[in-house]
Structure 1
Amino acid sequence: MDFRKLKTFQAVAENLNLTKAAEQLGYSQPAITLQLQALESELGVSLITRVGKKTYLTASGRVVKSYIDQAFSILDEMEHELKKMQQPYGLLTIAAPELYCNQFLSIGIHSFIAENPQVKLQLFSCDSNEAMKKVAANEADLAIIAGPCRSPLMESQPLGKEDFVLVTTKELFEEHSLEELLTKYPFITYKSGSNLQLMVNECLDDVGFAPSSYIECISDETIKRTVLHHTGVALLGSALVEEELNKGTLIELHRFPEQIETSMVVLKSRAEENNIRTFSGIVRRIWANMGGMGERA
């Protein structure tokens, strides 16, 4: 069946006016009429009828139009998917914890947009667990996470590592012994079940530290701010507290051998999509250029 005749009928069915359909398609009106007649002959049904000066679809015409609309919609989807494989374009959605959004992804996004201006970027700020859930549900195209990714459906690309550091404020450290800090003040940490909380528990078990009270927070930035208000002690990535440690506003109580690994995760079934592959390449390049990324940016 000739797609040109189907497209002609679709234009006529939408305009219900042969002259307008001819102008839309760049054909002459007699050519439009001949193509309609040929399609009607091929299908063995009448597709349009005229009452006075008005054109109407027949019952058969309405059925044919509904299927033609579906067919061209599917073809449009096919073209859309093929374009995604040829060059970056459209929407790219990234999910990542607040730290990455604020300090690192702004650089990656700037570079990506500069090289691929036809792509629109959307950024979700959320914890690592939520970021992985968004990727799994196709609500995000890729995610930057802290800690392990154990999903067999996802491909994980390591970016860098950093130490875990137990910290408190200078004021609390000077006023209390280490034992008092660990027993009288709350341990400020990630919410139960989060990606990093599992690693935190392993570190605490290694040194036999069992906090008597907890404060759970949604992000490491929130944990740091809570510590800075002299609330207690926390176990955080060294990159997050490096500036405060250098200034002396936070004091390192203990540095653990376990390290936080930062990774970029995507669904294995989507890893070769052009938007994802291109952005992934830029992320790895920028991360490597920022000192080998032994720490989070």
Structure 2
Amino acid sequence: MELRQLRTFQVVAEELNMTKAAKRLKYTQPTISLQLQSLEKELNVTLITRVGNKNVLTAAGKRLKTHVDRLFELMEEIESDMEAYSQPGGLLTIAASEYYWTHHLHPVIQEYKMLYPNVNISLLPLNSAHGIRSVKNAVADIAIVAGEIREAKVKKYYLEKEQTFLVASSQLTRGKNLQEILYHFPFISYDEDCSFYHIIEKFFHKTKIKPKSTIICGTDEAIKQAVLNDTGYAILGGNIIQDEIKNGKISILQQIDDPINTYAIHLKERSQEPNIETFTQILQQTWPTLS
């Protein structure tokens, strides 16, 4: 079967008039008759017959008309979808922490803009907990978040696993053991809204360490700077402090058992939106620790 034969049959079945069908299809009537005869021969059925002076569909013709209508509806849907994917456009809003923007997302966005220049990207500097909320509330299309995701309506894409450490500045640790540091200096922490705050709680519960005092800084970068300024000790992911560890500015006091998992997330119901689907694909291909 050829699509042009099926299309001819569909129009003839709708019009039941060869002259009107020929006008719609811009074919001659003999061409239409030949296509119908060829289709009937291939299917080994009669599709259209005459009753008196009228053309009518046979039972086989009615059944084929149902299939053909569904076929061309599907083809229109395919064409519409592919047209959307040929040039995604409009606005794509991405929520992520300052660290992810600075260290990970720039090459991803650069690659994406080369492929899809018609997409405008809006960046929301949010921590992981707020990023999750922004996706759930449709404020952001996609969020890059750290920690486990337990939202039923959210689809997640694994990006990396990051080891965590209890750290302090090398200046602060000089000449002191761990117990002295924990006793004399405050713990510099994320707030309880942080999506991986449970890692901190679990560590202190397991080690039976109780910080003398706590300073809430909120962001990775703010906590790192407080550590570098000898303010106190902190639990940080290895990525953000790798340079400071290499150049000797930060010392590892203890490795934490639980790593931080990083994911890209969006609402499941939006999985087939062209901007979201194309960006998550590029994200997984170009995320620095995956490549």
TM-score, reference length from structure 2: 0.70
Structure 1 distance, partners of 2:199, 2:255, is 14
Distance change >3 Å, CA 198–CA 291, structure 1 → 2: closer
Structure 2 distance, partners of 1:291, 1:188, is 27
Return the offset for 1:87. Answer: 3.8
Corresponding residue of 2:61: none
Kept in 2: contact 1:84–1:275 (CA 8 A): no
Alignment of 1:199 onto 2:199: yes
Gaps of 5+ in 1: 1-79
The structure whose Rg is larger is: 2
AA in 1 matched with 2:276:
I
AA in 2 matched with 1:109:
I
Return the offset for 1:117. Answer: 0.5
Deviations 1:192-221 (A, max 9, x none): 232121221112222222112101122111
Return the offset for 1:85. Answer: 6.0
Corresponding residue of 2:182: 182
Alignment of 1:285 onto 2:285: yes
Kept in 2: contact 1:86–1:274 (CA 8 A): no
Return the offset for 1:90. Answer: 0.5
AA in 1 matched with 2:270:
R
Structure 1 distance, partners of 2:204, 2:81, is 48
Distance change >3 Å, CA 84–CA 184, structure 1 → 2: farther
SS in structure 1 of the partner of residue 259 of structure 2: strand
What is the total number of aligned residue pairs between the two structures? 212
Deviations 1:105-130 (A, max 9, x none): 11111111111101100001110011
Kept in 1: contact 2:87–2:116 (CA 8 A): no
Distance change >3 Å, CA 87–CA 174, structure 1 → 2: same
AA in 2 matched with 1:140:
A
Deviations 1:136-191 (A, max 9, x none): 11110000001111111101111110111011011111142211111110100101
Kept in 2: contact 1:188–1:215 (CA 8 A): yes
Alignment of 1:173 onto 2:173: yes
Structure 2 distance, partners of 1:272, 1:200, is 36
Structure 1 distance, partners of 2:175, 2:259, is 30
Structure 1 distance, partners of 2:201, 2:120, is 39
Alignment of 1:108 onto 2:118: no
Structure 1 distance, partners of 2:181, 2:258, is 22
SS in structure 1 of the partner of residue 231 of structure 2: coil
Corresponding residue of 2:227: 227
Corresponding residue of 2:242: 242
Gaps of 5+ in 2: 1-79
Kept in 1: contact 2:136–2:267 (CA 8 A): yes
SS in structure 2 of the partner of residue 257 of structure 1: coil
Kept in 1: contact 2:190–2:217 (CA 8 A): yes
Return the offset for 1:272. Answer: 1.5
Corresponding residue of 2:126: 126
Corresponding residue of 2:267: 267
Structure 1 distance, partners of 2:273, 2:136, is 15
Corresponding residue of 1:252: 252
SS in structure 1 of the partner of residue 256 of structure 2: strand
Structure 2 distance, partners of 1:271, 1:86, is 17
SS in structure 2 of the partner of residue 272 of structure 1: coil
SS in structure 2 of the partner of residue 241 of structure 1: helix
Distance change >3 Å, CA 265–CA 121, structure 1 → 2: same
Kept in 1: contact 2:92–2:122 (CA 8 A): yes
Kept in 2: contact 1:148–1:195 (CA 8 A): yes
Corresponding residue of 2:51: none
What's the Cα RMSD here?
A: 1.8
Distance change >3 Å, CA 92–CA 83, structure 1 → 2: farther
Structure 2 distance, partners of 1:154, 1:175, is 48
SS in structure 2 of the partner of residue 167 of structure 1: strand
Structure 1 distance, partners of 2:212, 2:84, is 53
AA in 1 matched with 2:145:
I
SS in structure 2 of the partner of residue 223 of structure 1: helix
Corresponding residue of 2:45: none
Structure 2 distance, partners of 1:106, 1:286, is 10
Alignment of 1:156 onto 2:156: yes
Return the offset for 1:96. Answer: 0.4
TM-score, reference length from structure 1: 0.68
Kept in 2: contact 1:192–1:216 (CA 8 A): no
Distance change >3 Å, CA 271–CA 213, structure 1 → 2: same
Return the offset for 1:84. Answer: 5.0
